[in-house]
């Protein structure tokens, strides 16, 4: 992904020359600051060792592989509707990775379904993902009204995902292996730093203090958990910087704007154009590009469904796959995500057609 974004950046700089200050203006630094802070806090939580103990309790409660998958899917989906899809992933993916040392589990597939679950669950809420938040503010309707409009899609996508569970996970029992609690006992301070840091950081972000909050988290973690600062995935942040720049330039190209205008005449209208454009530039940039010329409801449905399919369809997908660091997970993701794209697209088309009919 880093190589692809770098090559694309070079090509776009040749097509549309721009200064470094212009490129910097295209980057949403607030979003990047929030992402960095969450990566730091989730890494501290992972290194505390307590995720291993909590994961063991979860495995003991949900003793079957299929039960565990359903539990993680529902937890991920509901959490994403409350604290946004990226925050949910920073909690559930490290938790899932901690299960790997306690039992033989399809960790890659579990994380893939968690990524799909946060895309489905976050579509329900006005604050579940960045595109919903933007469209909610743009539409000017009340929180409950937006929730009611998105309810059929969010519930429908979660049900479709749960229908895939029997195909992906057997009913096999989970056999726990011995796990030492020494690691967790040695690192109590980082745990409390994470538990205190999460709510304080999110409150500060909600108040519009994202950059000062990041500085505070960074300084605090350098003091109590220096290892976490130097072990987060800094390359992922570079990828996001390049994505902001590249996708912004692509959206301004006249050929792209003309193509988008013609796409809106295709069957499915704004839903289809939201789905398809998300596969090219991700669903948040697609929303920003289409919001001024589309009805917000079908657009919201389209870009939510567009989060499935290719990994680039949603930034949450990229976060989950990079946090996982599992060999072969990109292939595994598309094996399940592409069918979800087709099923979600079909569901949206049928439901909205029935409403208009």
* Band (5; pLDDT cuts 50, 70, 90): confident
Write out pLDDT tens, residues 7-38: 989 998 888 888 888 888 888 787 788 778 87
pLDDT at 309: 93
Q: Do the beta carbons of residue 96 and residue 72 sit within 8 Å? A: yes
- Please tell me the number of Cα atoms within 13 Å of 298 on its side-chain side: 19
Tokens of 269: 């209208």
> Is the pLDDT reported for residue 132 higher than 90?
no
| In the chain, domain spans | 50-176+233-355
Kindly report the number of other CB atoms within 10 A of residue 4's CB atom. 12
Q: Which residue has the higher pLDDT, 308 or 324?
A: 308
Q: Which residue has the tokens 């020494």?
A: 182
Q: Is the dihedral of CA 210, 35, 193, 115 positive or negative?
A: positive
User: In Å, what is the CA distance from 105 to each residue of 47, 119, 177, 339?
Assistant: 21, 23, 12, 23
Hey, which of 264-268, 283-287, 300-304 has the most confident mean pLDDT?
A: 300-304
pLDDT band at 251 (very low <50, low <70, confident <90, very high): confident
Which residue has 């946004």 as its token pair? 84
Check whether 68 has a pLDDT greater than 60. Answer: yes
pLDDT of residue 313: 92
Output the pLDDT for position 185.
46
Note the pLDDT of residue 44. Answer: 78
Does the structure show a pLDDT above 90 at 134?
A: no
Question: Over the chain, what is the mean pLDDT?
Answer: 82
pTM assigned to the model:
0.74
Picking from 101, 106, 76, the residue whose alpha carbon sits closest to that of residue 91 is: 76
For residue 184, is pLDDT > 60?
A: no
| Across 48-61, average pLDDT | 66
**Tell me, what's the pLDDT at 268?**
65
The rounded distance, in Å, linking the Cα atoms of 82 and 226 is 30
Q: Which of 85-99, 156-170, 226-240 has the highest mean pLDDT?
A: 156-170
92 secondary structure, DSSP code = H
55-89 CB burial, b ≥16 within 10 A, e <16: bbebbeebebbebbbbebbebbbbbbbebbbbbbb
What is the pLDDT at residue 180?
46
pLDDT bracket for residue 56 (50, 70, 90): low
pLDDT band at 183 (very low <50, low <70, confident <90, very high): very low
Percent of the chain scoring above 70 in pLDDT: 88
d(CA 285, CA 247) in angstroms, rounded, equals: 7
Q: What is the pLDDT of residue 357?
A: 60
pLDDT-derived band at 55 (thresholds 50, 70, 90) equals low
């Amino acid at each position: 992904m880093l190589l692809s974004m770098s090559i694309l950046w070079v090509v776009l700089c040749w097509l549309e020359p721009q200064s470094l200050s212009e490129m910097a203006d295209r980057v949403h630094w607030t979003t990047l600051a929030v992402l960095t802070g969450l990566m730091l806090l989730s890494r501290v939580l992972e290194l505390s060792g307590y995720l291993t103990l909590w994961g063991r309790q979860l495995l003991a409660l949900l003793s079957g592989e299929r039960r565990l998958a359903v539990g993680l899917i529902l937890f991920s989906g509901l959490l994403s509707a409350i604290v946004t899809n990226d925050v949910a992933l920073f909690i559930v993916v490290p938790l899932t990775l901690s299960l790997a040392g306690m039992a033989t589990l399809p960790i890659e597939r579990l994380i893939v379904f968690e990524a799909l679950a946060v895309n489905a669950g976050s579509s329900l809420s006005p604050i579940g993902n960045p595109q919903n938040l933007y469209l909610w503010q743009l539409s000017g309707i009340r929180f409950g009204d937006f929730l009611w409009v998105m309810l059929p899609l969010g519930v429908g996508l979660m049900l479709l995902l749960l229908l895939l569970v029997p195909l992906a996970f057997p009913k096999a029992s989970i056999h726990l292996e011995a796990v030492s609690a020494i690691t967790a006992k040695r690192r109590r301070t980082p745990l409390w730093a994470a538990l205190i840091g999460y709510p304080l950081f999110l409150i500060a972000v909600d108040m519009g203090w994202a950059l000062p909050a990041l500085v505070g988290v960074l300084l605090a973690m350098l003091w109590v958990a220096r290892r976490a600062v130097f072990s987060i995935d800094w390359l992922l942040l570079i990828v996001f910087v390049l994505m902001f720049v590249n996708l912004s330039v692509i959206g301004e190209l006249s050929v792209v704007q003309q193509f988008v205008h013609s796409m809106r005449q295709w069957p499915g209208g704004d839903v289809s154009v939201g789905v398809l454009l998300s596969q090219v530039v991700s669903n948040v940039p697609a929303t920003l590009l289409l919001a001024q010329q589309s009805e917000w409801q079908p657009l919201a449905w389209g870009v939510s469904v567009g989060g499935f399919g290719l990994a680039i369809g949603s930034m949450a997908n990229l976060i989950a796959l990079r946090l996982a660091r599992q060999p072969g997970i990109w292939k595994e993701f598309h094996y399940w995500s592409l069918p979800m794209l087709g099923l979600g697209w079909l569901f949206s088309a049928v439901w909205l057609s029935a409403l208009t009919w």
